[in-house]
């Protein structure tokens, strides 16, 4: 199945969205280092092509589950950076009213079923969303973002198995960034990559360059078309790299990976690559690229202004939202 070619406008939108994710996370890290926000931030820097290339194939009715590294998935699915930033600030206008912070942003209205603090936990939830789509019969699908680290979890095998048995409309989207926190994938996974499991369950799979947004878009387009057509689940493994540390509090974590590896992936930066391609083929010029940069920066200025002006929750708000109906 072929994917319609991206129009120049669509390619510019993908580029801007990748840049927005990159700059959002850079801003979040600055705010964290400055003590403006608290808690822990897991930057998505380096993996932007995956979320953007995948979600460009989805509609608002399609549902995704995310990981602890969820900012990119949120933005790519259409979340509002202002409300995301307010959540990082722990304020009442955050998506989760300050109950979630950076690691658990969700927006059910746009089909973003939550970033999740437990590795592998999104897998069964995505299978359930796919089951809902199947029972609804409305043509919607689910996409589960998970990492190579989650491929070591039993939940992946349970979910591959049941999704194949029930032909659930789900794309299992592994972002293989090579490192499960501080452990290289090869030291945690006997298979070459998570996609190697798929044939055992009779599931179609594909490995794609996760640092090439158009390659991700096209591969996901094929997967989504097959899943929507009722052909059952697909495993898509996007090979990518986390360019920054696993998790940041006020002080950056020590870098455990070798400098040559970091340099190699720096040269494959998905945003640099895509910008160069867009400039080479005349889709944008340097001036247009600078305009996009400025507009992203302004959008994030607005987000920070909105977030820092949002009220701090009152102590009694701690009790809000626990149960839907009385439980005490």
Partner 1 sequence: MRMPNSTCSYDAALLDAVAEEMRRDARVFFMATNPPRPLSEEFGPGRVRRTPISEAAMTGMAIGAAGSGFRPIVHWGNVCFSFVAFDQAVNQAARIRYMFGGQRDFPIVFCARYLNGTRSAAQHSQTGYALYAHAAGLKIAAPSNAADAKGLLKAAIRDPDPVVFFESERLGKTASEIASGEPLVPFGSAAVRRSGTDVTIVAIAYMVEEALAAASALEEHGINAEVLDPRTLVPLDTDAIRESVQRTGRLIVVDESFPTCSFAAEIITSVVEDGATMQALQAPPQRVCTLPVPVPFSPALEDHVLPGAQRIADVARSVVDRVASRRL
Question: Does 328 interact with partner 1 (rule: CB under 8 A)?
Answer: yes
Q: Which pair of structure tokens corresponds to residue 72?
A: 């990119």
Containing H/E element for 184?
strand 183-184
Using rule CB under 8 A, residue 127 touches partner 1: yes
Q: How far apart are CA 239 and CA 230, in angstroms?
A: 26
Return all residues near 8 (Cβ < 8 A) that are at least 6 apart: 283
According to the binding rule CB under 8 A, does residue 257 interact with partner 1? no
Total residues contacting partner 1 (rule CB under 8 A)?
Answer: 51
Between CA 25 and CA 105 the distance in angstroms is 14
Q: Contact at 8 Å (CB) between 141 and 228? A: yes
**Within positions 59 to 78, which residues make up the interface with partner 1, using CB under 8 A?**
63, 65
The torsion of the CA quartet 297, 302, 304, 308, rounded to 10 degrees, works out to 160
Instruction: Kindly state whether residue 327 participates in binding partner 1, applying the rule CB under 8 A.
Output: yes
CA distance 227 to 130: 10
> Could you tell me the two tokens for 249?
């509090």
Q: Which of 33, 40, 132, 225 binds partner 1 (CB under 8 A)?
A: 132
Shortest CB 325 distance to partner 1, Å: 6
Instruction: Catalogue the E-assigned strands of the chain.
Output: 63-65, 142-147, 170-176, 179-180, 183-184, 204-209, 234-239
Q: Which of 171, 177, 159, 162 is nearest to 204 (CA)?
A: 171
Q: Is 58 in the site for partner 1 (CB under 8 A)?
A: no
Any contact of residue 96 with partner 1 (CB under 8 A)? yes
315 binds partner 1 (CB under 8 A): no
Selected binder of partner 1 within 123, 216, 235, 278 (CB under 8 A): 123
* Residue closer to partner 1 (CB basis): 163 or 205: 163
**Strand (E) or helix (H) holding 173:** strand 170-176
Do the beta carbons of residue 211 and residue 240 sit within 8 Å? yes
d(CA 65, CA 107) in angstroms, rounded, equals 11
CB of 305 to partner 1, least distance (A): 21
Are 186 and 215 contacting, i.e. CB atoms less than 8 angstroms apart? no
Query: Is residue 142 close enough to count as binding partner 1 by CB under 8 A?
Result: yes
Half-sphere exposure of 16 (CA within 13 A, CB side): 20
Residues numbered 163 to 182 that lie near partner 1 (CB under 8 A) are 165-166
Q: Find the shortest distance in angstroms from Cβ 255 to partner 1.
A: 29
Q: Which segment (18-26, 109-117, 187-195, 259-267) binds partner 1 by CB under 8 A?
A: 109-117
Report the nearest approach of partner 1 to the CB of residue 110 (Å): 11
Report in angstroms how near the CB of residue 232 gets to partner 1 at its nearest.
15
Of 26 and 158, the one with the shorter C-beta distance to partner 1 is: 158
Q: Does 196 bind partner 1 (CB under 8 A)?
A: no
Residues forming the site for partner 1 (CB under 8 A): 63, 65, 94-100, 104, 106-109, 113-114, 116-118, 121, 123-133, 135-136, 142, 154-155, 158-159, 161-162, 165-166, 320-328
């Amino acid at each position: 199945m072929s994917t319609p070619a991206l129009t120049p406008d669509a390619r510019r939108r993908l580029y801007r969205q990748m840049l927005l994710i990159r700059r959002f996370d850079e801003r979040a890290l600055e705010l964290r280092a400055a003590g403006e926000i608290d808690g822990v931030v897991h930057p998505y820097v380096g993996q932007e092509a995956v979320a953007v290339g995948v979600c460009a194939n989805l509609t608002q009715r399609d549902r995704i589950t995310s990981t602890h590294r969820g900012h990119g998935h949120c933005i790519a699915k259409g979340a509002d950076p202002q409300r995301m930033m307010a959540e990082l600030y722990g304020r009442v206008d955050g998506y989760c009213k300050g109950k979630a912070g950076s690691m658990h942003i969700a927006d059910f209205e746009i089909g973003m079923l939550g970033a999740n603090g437990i590795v592998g936990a999104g897998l069964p939830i995505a299978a359930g969303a796919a089951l809902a789509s199947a029972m609804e019969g409305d043509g919607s699908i689910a996409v589960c973002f998970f990492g190579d680290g989650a491929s070591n979890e039993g939940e992946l095998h349970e979910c591959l198995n049941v999704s194949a048995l029930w032909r659930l409309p789900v794309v299992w989207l592994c972002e293989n960034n090579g490192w499960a926190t501080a452990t290289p994938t090869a030291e945690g996974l006997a298979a070459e990559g998570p996609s190697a499991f798929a044939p055992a369950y009779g599931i179609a799979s594909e490995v794609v360059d996760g640092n090439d947004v158009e390659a991700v878009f096209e591969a996901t387009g094929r997967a989504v078309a097959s899943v929507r057509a009722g052909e059952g689940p697909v495993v898509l493994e996007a090979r990518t790299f986390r360019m920054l540390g696993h998790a940041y509090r006020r002080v950056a974590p020590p870098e455990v990976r070798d400098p040559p590896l970091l340099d190699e992936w720096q040269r494959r930066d998905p945003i640099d690559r895509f910008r160069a391609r867009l400039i080479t083929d005349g889709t944008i010029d340097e001036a247009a690229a600078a305009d996009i940069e400025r507009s992203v920066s302004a959008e994030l200025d607005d987000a920070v202004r909105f977030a820092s002006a949002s009220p701090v929750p009152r102590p009694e708000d701690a009790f809000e939202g626990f149960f839907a109906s009385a439980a005490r």
